[in-house]
Structure 1
Amino acid sequence: MGLFSGRKPHSGLVAKERLSNLLMAERLNCSPASLQMLKNDLSAAAGKYLTIEADEISVTITHTTPVILTAKIPLKRNEEYHVKTI
């Protein structure tokens, strides 16, 4: 999915990515439950400051040297883009 295209990926591609992430997590000795907890923590932290799409957060692990953890946290589209004040 392109950053500005607005198109969602096909379900087959999403399933393939999820399976790949599960296999990578297993190789790194990181359980799917641990990844879900990380996702929840990232959602809570980002949600304190930004208006986010919490149900669309994705966390991926790329097995390269070094191993890379990537989190995509989509922002909700608002009339005005602003940071929440606390």
Structure 2
Amino acid sequence: MEPNRNRRLQQRLERQARRLKQAERERSTLLAQTIYLGTLGLVMVLPVVAGAYIGHWLDSLADGYSTRWTLSLILLGVMVGAFNVYALIKE
């Protein structure tokens, strides 16, 4: 029973060593991580800015002072941006 246990332990250690070597080879650089974070930021901010711009334009068409469209589309932009970030990270 003891040789079988040693063999399984050795196989597990070899598999972990292969995984560590592969992870070391595939490690991303600082530039790649910076680009990834910048992409996440843009994916989050662009829908919010677009919502604010379109909402302000729609509010300017209304008579009097209105912020209904601006606030609604900013909130929609936050939700869309959060979903985009989630989808990009999950990928």
Q: Is the structural similarity TM-score above 0.5?
A: no
Instruction: Provide TM-score, normalisation by structure 1.
Output: 0.31
Between structure 1 and structure 2, the one with the greater Rg is 2
Structure-2-length-normalised TM-score = 0.30
Tell me which of the two structures has the higher relative contact order, counting C-alpha pairs closer than 8 angstroms and 6 or more residues apart: 2
